[in-house]
A and B are shown apart, each in its own frame.
Chain A
């Protein structure tokens, strides 16, 4: 069965890139422009993985992840972050606490990215 991935990123061109890369691998991709929209889509549909941009205006990726974990309906959704920043070990601990499986640094190393997605969807 085709795996479904939700991308939440405020940057249209980055959404387009991530979507293209995932579609190349045969996944079904839905996009959301911000955390609010992402939460709505999560509540409506069923997704195997949610990729969340860390740094978004309004609701940050971190906040969105917290909201997911605090909502009984969607709390078990698999999440991973897309991020430009490099995390310190403390920051890594923090995002683990949020139940994030991984974080993917931007610029994206395409092969590495595909590998990580595959691993998370296993």
Chain B
């Protein structure tokens, strides 16, 4: 089963709709790309404490959350994106508090309904699974109050969910982690529609806040670059008028090139969020990869000289055309070469390309430090903000995640082969234009 090609990214809105529409959700481990057993899920679920979404993100094997449609289509839906947003929201204190307020409110209304048979400790509400919680509630009702009627209501509610969604209603457990059961509680009719909508609204607000933030950040980062590029361009346009010596001119050119590079870097940061939200537009044209490779290579000649690492090019005399977005493909190549130099202190970086079946394969090979086999599955993982802090040794998170998304948009593939201490080869393959 190839999960990758069947994953549709989803946002919070979609997620909420989905939960309302459908029942069972399966967890799929991305590293192994297999469906996990309910025992494994149970283990994860037990780990899901206060910040369950985060623990599932990085304490475990970075599982994708995938919903398997109950219909016959062989179609999978990633909930990871939505889940990541939840996790980010949790990390940010402002939102943690506002989410908490919402959650507590909902629990309060639940607690009121449970008042008849005594208080259930917060602890069990927050940390136990819902099945356990309901069992406890039923038990408590029976023991302390002998209220047969209430016991019956709760048992019925629990059994009907069990019957409808199977022995183990996984989705309930998953969503317990962050919105903590508010959504699934609707199924018990314990939460009003208004309350559910309120939570949905809050989540939406978080989403908007996040996108506002990246827009403002991009604006602020870019503003200082504007006069740098503008004035440098002006000076370089008329070197004689401004009496620029050859040396000054050359150095200003370097400044300008790098200011422009910085500008596109800011663009890239913005593109992550756009790629993830699906806002990113691609303009596909017939491309000559040789030209692109040569252009990108030229940008690295000074770095190669500085690092005393050779930069080689091994291209066939002719490469078939591909259909792609020039800027994006250059971005991928730039990123791979940048990484190669970053981790290579002696030897060489070599760019190779060739036709392989119906694809053109580009390889960026280095003689650098190499990558631990265990790290490889994580390399192309989607961008996740806390990863660089938690996992300093990776350090490539953002760039390669963008690369993978871009290549995937071209119906291509990207992969790596590496040996610790010997070097790495990053490959991408793009379908030949016919």
Interface residues of A (CB under 8 A from B): 11, 13-14, 16-18, 20-21, 24, 55, 84-85, 106-110
Contact = CB atoms under 8 A, between A and B. Distances in A.
Interface residues of B, number: 17
A21 B226 CA distance: 13
Contacts of B197: none
A24 B234 contact: yes
B223 A21 contact: no
A105 to B, nearest CB: 10
The 9 closest A-B pairs by CB, nearest first: A13-B227, A17-B230, A107-B229, A106-B226, A17-B227, A110-B233, A107-B226, A84-B219, A84-B222
Contact of A110 (B215, B225, B230): B230
Contact of B225 (A55, A107, A109): A107
B207 interface: no
A14 B223 contact: yes
Nearest to A12: B227
The dominant DSSP class at the B interface is helix
B273 to A, nearest CB: 13
Contacts of A108: 226, 229-230
B282 interface: no
Contact of B234 (A84, A107, A110): A110
B227 A21 contact: no
Q: Which of A16, A24, A109, A110 gathers the greatest number of chain B CB atoms within 10 Å?
A: A110
Interface of B: 215, 218-219, 222-227, 229-231, 233-234, 237, 260, 263
B235 to A, nearest CB: 11
A35 to B, nearest CB: 17
Given A21-B230, A85-B215, A106 B222 contact: yes
Contact of A14 (B227, B234, B260): B227
Contact of B227 (A16, A84, A85, A109): A16
B229 A85 contact: no
B237 to A, nearest CB: 7
A20 B238 CA distance: 14
Contacts of B231: 17, 20
